[in-house]
Amino acid sequence: MSQYEVTFAGFGGQGVMVAGQLLSYTGIKQDKNVVWIPSYGPEMRGGTAYCTVVISDVRIGSPIISNPQGACVFNRPSFDKFSTKVKPGGLLLVNSSLIPATTDRTDITELLVPANAIAMEAGSVKAVNVVMLGAFVGATDVVDIKLVKAVLTEKLGHKKSMLDINLKVLDQSYKLAKQQLAQGQKV
């Protein structure tokens, strides 16, 4: 990999911006070049919020990414907006708890992650963003999952119960993504 771009999209409160930032912090830990670009403006008020993260071994040029290699969509409007934008050969991670749909695309890998269900079962729906992040890292290995854990521990160390929940779901979804890929699943 010389450069990977991924968009996290959902509605306000689902932690999509934070998911992107956690990935960015991890990228820095791995000595990569990183850019985190938020959607801002009218889009911040209702509708979809999204951010794109670029992780690269080389100097990053354009921070404007029209067609990312990966997209993690947390809700239906984001699915509609971004499922068509993923680059051919890329990855689409769908929060299947809230999105009862799949694409017709055969040129991308599409994984279904019941992110809300996993987060709630672990004890907090707030962890939904980390579920998606774990699945993304599981599917791509763009960064080292151990370093994601280290970042989470740094950021959430003061809230032990939340940290435990997040570490748990991170592991769970990381493995789930690997499993699905191994089975060549498009569920």
Partner 1 sequence: MAKILMKGNEAIAEAALRAGGNNYFCYPITPQSEVAEYLAKRMPEVGGVFLQAESEVAVGNMLFGAAASGKRVFTTSSSPGISLMQESISYIAGAQLPCVLLNIMRGGPGLGGILPAQSDYFQATKGGGHGDYRLLVLAPSTIQEAVDLTMLAFHLSDKYRNPVMLIGDGMIGQMMEPVEFPEKYVEDELPGKDDWALTGAKDREKRIVKSLFLDPLALEINNHELYKKYELMKQNEARYECYKISAKNKVLIVSYGTMARICQTVIDELESEGVSVGLFRPISLFPFPEKELRKEILKKNVGTVLTVEMSMGQMVEDVEKVAAGAKPVKFFGRTGGIVPSPDEVKENIKEMIRQDAAPAKRTRKGK
Binding site for partner 1 (CB under 8 A): 21, 24-25, 28, 33-38, 40-42, 59-64, 66
Which of residues 89 and 100 has its CB atom nearest to partner 1 in the complex? 89
Nearest alpha carbon to residue 167 among 184, 154, 182, 186: 154
Which of residues 122 and 143 has its CB atom nearest to partner 1 in the complex? 143
Which of residues 43 and 80 has its CB atom nearest to partner 1 in the complex? 43
Q: Token pair of 99, please?
A: 């999105």
Minimum distance, C-beta of residue 63 to partner 1, in the bound complex (Å): 6
Minimum distance, C-beta of residue 62 to partner 1, in the bound complex (Å): 4
Which of residues 56 and 96 has its CB atom nearest to partner 1 in the complex? 56
Q: Which three-class secondary structure state does DSSP give residue 33? A: strand
Between the two ends of the chain, the Cα-to-Cα distance in Å is 27
Distance CA 173, CA 128 (A): 10
Minimum distance, C-beta of residue 98 to partner 1, in the bound complex (Å): 27
Minimum distance, C-beta of residue 25 to partner 1, in the bound complex (Å): 6
Distance CA 110, CA 181 (A): 9
Minimum distance, C-beta of residue 41 to partner 1, in the bound complex (Å): 5
Q: Which three-class secondary structure state does DSSP give residue 58? A: coil
Which of residues 42 and 46 has its CB atom nearest to partner 1 in the complex? 42
Q: Which three-class secondary structure state does DSSP give residue 183? A: coil
Question: Apex CA 26: angle with CA 79 and CA 28, to 5°?
Answer: 120
